[in-house]
Amino acid sequence: MEGRRPKQDIIPRPALRIGRLREFGIPALDQLVQQRRVFNRMDWWTPYDWLSYDGFSAAVLARGIVGALLVTPMDAHINDRLMLQGNAHVAWVRWCAIADGVSASRVIQLLFENSFDSLLHAGITSLYAIVESMSWMAPYLHEAQFTGVDQVVTMICRHPATACYQVSVPPDVMVRQAKQADLPDVLAIDQSAFEELWQYPLPILIKALESSVYFSVAIQQELVVGYQFASADGQGAHITRLAVRSDMQRHGIGAALLADALKHLSSSWQVRYITLNTQLSNGASQKLYRQFHFELQQPSMRVLRRMLNSCA
């Protein structure tokens, strides 16, 4: 089932206007983050980090803010409190909140319409969102003409300490901890391995190097040819990213990175299980992960897309 929608829209049409959230400041955001209906796909940041971003829009009634939406281009990032972006053609729905007691349909409709205009002006052609099927946000994304294009699935390895020794890896591939100097190569690998909507810009890779419990690179013939990074929490760890240069795939480099990560996380962090995400359409990755006894978990998350070049 999709999330249930309120039965009645209580907002009179002429009363609602759209502005920038930064005009209302931190108190307005403080109020929004406490609401029941909050959609959050912020990755490495919080909505407060993006408060001054032009694309963080607010829906306002005379009595105050009733909703907000943050949509960012794939390569938008934060640098010294400035919002920077390059030449991406893809954007993501990052955050949305609707005030309690307000019917969301028209609020979200107007917030999206405002975002569509801004994104088209910036050269964005596709807007994506990742959402659980039971999320309150799901029916409103469908109303905004988002359609399903893929699914993100979670896989789990319940015995990483033994799984890491059960797959052979190339003897000429060395895996070591990543360094700052590796990041340009890591960025090039990321861009070659993933289509645009999944690529990480350099600031996210920098943040990952600073924050991850283990960030490693694979070296072959003195070249960086793959990388992974992971987080850990309590008894579990999560491999956030694993990528191999596109022209070096299917040569055991991913297996070397994964075996090393499982060994390191199970020994140094003593985790009892390890998870990772991949796309349902990515059969090659799933085949690799199954060799290390990763199993699919349910439920999955839907990847939705709205093509903006057809916006009215």
Domain ranges of the chain: 13-144, 153-302
Rg for the chain, CA atoms, rounded: 21
Mean pLDDT across the chain: 90
Cα atoms in the 13 Å half-sphere on the side-chain side of 82: 4
Which residue, among 68, 86, 69, 65, has the nearest Cα to 77 in the 3D structure?
Answer: 86
Task: Name which residue leads in pLDDT, 273 or 42.
Answer: 273
- DSSP annotation of 298 reads E
Residue 159 burial (CB count, 10 A): 15
Supply 296's token pair. Answer: 């699919």
Mean pLDDT along residues 127-145: 95
Which residue, among 166, 175, 163, has the nearest Cα to 253 in the 3D structure?
Answer: 175
Same fold, 13-144 and 153-302: yes
Q: What is the pLDDT of residues 155-207, one digit of tens each?
A: 999 999 999 887 888 999 999 999 999 999 999 999 999 999 999 989 899 99
Q: What is the pLDDT of residues 231-243, one digit of tens each?
A: 999 899 999 999 9
Which residue, among 306, 298, 307, has the nearest Cα to 134 in the 3D structure?
Answer: 298
Report pLDDT for 208.
Answer: 95
Q: What is the pLDDT of residues 25-79, one digit of tens each?
A: 999 999 999 999 999 998 888 999 999 988 899 999 987 899 999 999 887 766 6
Q: Does domain 13-144 have CATH number 3.40.630.30?
A: yes
Mean pLDDT along residues 2-31: 75
Which residue, among 232, 219, 184, 220, has the nearest Cα to 205 in the 3D structure?
Answer: 184
Whether pLDDT at 305 is above 80: yes
The pTM of this model reads 0.89
Whether pLDDT at 82 is above 50: no
Third-level CATH fold of 153-302:
Aminopeptidase (3.40.630)
pLDDT band at 100 (very low <50, low <70, confident <90, very high): very high
Report pLDDT for 164.
Answer: 86
Mean pLDDT along residues 87-115: 93
3-state secondary structure of 146: coil
Report pLDDT for 233.
Answer: 92
Task: Name which residue leads in pLDDT, 85 or 18.
Answer: 18
- DSSP annotation of 38 reads E
Angle at the Cα of 202 (from 72 to 229), degrees rounded to 5?
105
Mean pLDDT along residues 283-289: 95
Report pLDDT for 311.
Answer: 47
Whether pLDDT at 148 is above 90: yes
Distances (CA, A) of 200 to 7, 90, 184, 278: 40, 12, 12, 15
Distances (CA, A) of 106 to 8, 11, 31, 100, 115: 11, 8, 20, 14, 14
